Amino acid sequence: MAGILRACNCGIIATKYLPDSPNSEQAYSIAMEKSGLDGLNVYIVANDIPGLYYGLLTLEQLTEPLSKGDTLVLPVVDIVDWPDVRLRGTWTLLRHVGSDSAALYTYDALIKRFSRYKLNFTEAWHINVSESKGDGPIDTAWVFPKSVIDIGKRYAVEVVPGTGHLPHKFFRSGSESLKKRFPGAPGIKKKKERKILHLCQRHPDTRGFYTQYLTSIAKQFSLVDVWMSEIEGPRGVCHCPQCKGDTRSAFVNETRNLMYAYREAKKVNPNFRMILGLTQGSYPHHFSMLEHIPREVNLNFYNGKMTYKTWFQFYNLPPSVMEMQRLGYTVGSTPSPIDTQMMVPFMTPQYMRLLCGEAEDRHLDFVMAQMWPDPFANDFNAQAMAEFLWNSSGRTAEEFTLAWVTRKGWAHPKEAAAVIQLLEYPARGIHNAQVRHIVNEVVGYIEKEDWHKRVVRSIRGDDLAEWSVLGKFEYPTHHEMARVRALCEEGVRRAEEIDNQELVAASRLLGLWASILERYAWCLETSDAEEKRKAVKDIKSAFKDIPAAHAAWISHKDLSDYAKKYTSRWFEQQRVRWQSVVGGD
């Protein structure tokens, strides 16, 4: 049916629903009426420009599958729509590629593509300290051109500068001049201890550094996300006579320093606003810290031991998040919906719906999901996140998976979707165990010769380290690992039957990791020395096969140059670690 398109920002259809809808600036309505024999009038109504943009995107999605050539074909529908979570996106979309016209074109293309998922929020790291010149206040510089913020506005995407964890600003390479300017601030004296990255939060030089840092940012930007220290335990904090290695006082004093700096920054820019990034280090001390944080400061709840987990035992968000909201704070979160090192395939529709449903149910203001090194390489979970943050209750995981497979143009979409759902259980379990930890634990175990005594200690409860790699599976036993491996083998077989090579590669790679865990679990459960030797031999064989299987899977991904370099570097580091077990070059 040919159509006449009329996009408007005035109240003509369904407007009584739009002003009162949640996040009304993004709400839109699409209404259609027949015109003549084969015509159709289409009306798009919105409260604001973002809603109009999303209405046009939806219209495009409705027309694309049906239209051919010069004929525009539309299903006759009426839609009233709005997002449940106001800001939806990532803190890792942009990678610094420069400031020239070619770089700006790249940023434009990235943000435009991102916005087509109806994602509208991205934070870009880092705001660094410029090299000091003279004795004046320090200057800061964002690694991106400021025009990126305006590019985002064209596509209804809010681009926010991010600081990264604050101690990195002070202890970064080449900052000797900073240490001379703020001689009392460092809590580290030996260069080899640099990775601890703590500051003495009681020393006035630390407050001075934070104040000059935030004031310089406020002169350039009106909104920034400041990430606090990520230190955990007494080893990570200052041990001067005043601090004494106390983590609670360290985070309370860091909060007080930051809020002092924030007030000073607002003096130079009254419109300056700040999101405060919490961490797993700060987590035990949040309510002591809140006594010093004004309600106007939004809180970004991040805890790598909670918001990055995908196992069944816990929610990503603890009850304290709702308590923060009850106290009057606006709260968002930073989860991890994809494998951050791309070591394993991770297409997990049920998990994505649960993750986003939790954000909606707990009324989060924003979700900045970690989706690096490239959200588009992991397009399934990125699109699922976008879908379910917009409306986690409007579509099932199965419906989304089938729609995604159909959009991909895969043959036999129902069976392909079924294979993805089959792999969710193995993928989440292996992802939970963290592949790099699998490597360290398994390799470390194989390198030990006294297997029998270690197993006996484990059974007696004296030594549980060998089991930790399996502990985040629902049933951490050899029998369960064998069942998980069999699921992956079934995925290979079913994917081969429909000739879907991407799913074949994904199933095969997951199966290799599962086989390593299966044989590893058998090493821990059996007391037969010969059985142990056979299991270790199988583990070595699987480790040898993983690089080729990983390459086969990655070959199906649309990776950016940055993602290619990143994943190659990460995988090479792990390969070198395996050499002590598998041998060879």
Write the pLDDT tens digit of every residue in 361-396.
Answer: 999 999 999 888 888 888 899 999 999 999 988 889
Say what the pLDDT of residue 394 is: 83
Q: 261 pLDDT band (50/70/90 cuts)?
A: very high
9 pLDDT more than 50? no
Mean pLDDT of 502-509: 97
Q: pLDDT of 204-233, one tens digit each?
A: 999 999 999 999 999 999 999 999 998 887
**Helix, strand or coil, per DSSP, at residue 123:** strand
- Specify whether the backbone of 209 is left (phi greater than 0), alpha (psi in -120 to 50) or beta: alpha
CA 184 to chain centre: 36
Distance CA 460, CA 448 (A): 19
Residue-range domains of the chain with CATH: 4-81 (3.30.379.10), 90-165+295-394 (no CATH), 166-273 (no CATH), 413-582 (no CATH)
73 pLDDT more than 70? yes
Q: 186 pLDDT band (50/70/90 cuts)?
A: low
Q: Which of 260-274, 326-340, 542-556 has the highest mean pLDDT?
A: 260-274
Q: 584 pLDDT band (50/70/90 cuts)?
A: low
CA geometry: angle 384, 388, 391, nearest 5 deg = 145
Q: 448 pLDDT band (50/70/90 cuts)?
A: low
Cβ atoms of 75 and 66 within 8 Å: the answer is: yes
Q: 56 pLDDT band (50/70/90 cuts)?
A: very high
Q: What does DSSP say about strands 140-142 and 127-129: parallel, antiparallel, or unpaired?
A: antiparallel
Distance CA 86, CA 331 (A): 11
188 pLDDT more than 60? no
Considering only 269-278, 337-346, 373-382, which range has the smallest mean pLDDT? 337-346
Q: What does DSSP say about strands 28-35 and 39-46: parallel, antiparallel, or unpaired?
A: antiparallel
Residue 486, token pair as written in the block: 């069999």
Omega of the bond prior to 556 within 30 degrees of 0, cis?
no
Q: 3 pLDDT band (50/70/90 cuts)?
A: very low
Distance CA 119, CA 131 (A): 35
Q: What is the pTM of this model?
A: 0.90
71 has which bridge partners?
68
DSSP tag of 236: G
